[in-house]
Amino acid sequence: MGKIDRVGRIRTLHGDMGVWHKYTFGLAGERFFRALAEKGVLLASRCEACRKTYLPPKVYCPACFAELTVWAELPPRGYVETYTFLYEDLEENRLTEPVAVAFITFPGVDGGLVHRLGEVRPEEVCSGLEVEAVLAAERSGGLQDILYFRPSRE
């Protein structure tokens, strides 16, 4: 560093960002989560031009920008497309039981939902497992209204 040769003691300043966020769900999200809360159903929206049904639903088609006005209820059962097990929480603390998380898709629908799996033993979890949503008895409008997905029962 050339002629400047006296280096001050290393100092570290601790601080944070001081912000938090409150998000609106948006036009599509509002409709999706209200339907989940009030009627206990999952909705998707459809682009007739592209022949795609989107989950989570959107008010515009990301492929052709058409405004999407056709909404449909999803079939009650989906399939585990892929899954993983969590052994630690966000703070890197070890969990007492591993938690199964899966990407769940529905026939004929583009996209899917990521959520926890419950009421299932780890060895039962596999791609292609048929699952159904278990909803909270009291719902407030948010992803937490779905408790988890479990292997579907006839």
Q: Which residues bind another protein (CB under 8 A)?
A: 1-4, 6-30, 33-34, 59-60, 62-65, 67, 141-142
Q: CB-wise, 49 or 124, nearer to another protein?
A: 49
Nearest alpha carbon to residue 150 among 137, 133, 136: 133
Q: How far is the CB of 70 from another protein (least distance, A)?
A: 17
Place of tokens 């419950």: 118
When computed from its CA atoms, the radius of gyration of the chain, rounded to whole angstroms, is 22
Q: CB-wise, 129 or 146, nearer to another protein?
A: 146
In the beta sheet, which residues pair with residue 111?
55
Q: How far is the CB of 151 from another protein (least distance, A)?
A: 29
Q: CB-wise, 9 or 153, nearer to another protein?
A: 9
Q: How far is the CB of 116 from another protein (least distance, A)?
A: 17
Q: CB-wise, 60 or 83, nearer to another protein?
A: 60
Q: How far is the CB of 58 from another protein (least distance, A)?
A: 8
**Three-state DSSP class for 107?**
coil
Nearest alpha carbon to residue 77 among 113, 45, 47: 113
Do residues 95 and 89 make contact, with C-beta atoms less than 8 angstroms apart?
Answer: yes
Q: CB-wise, 50 or 101, nearer to another protein?
A: 50
- Residue 103 CA to residue 88 CA, distance in Å, equals 19
- Residue 100 CA to residue 96 CA, distance in Å, equals 13
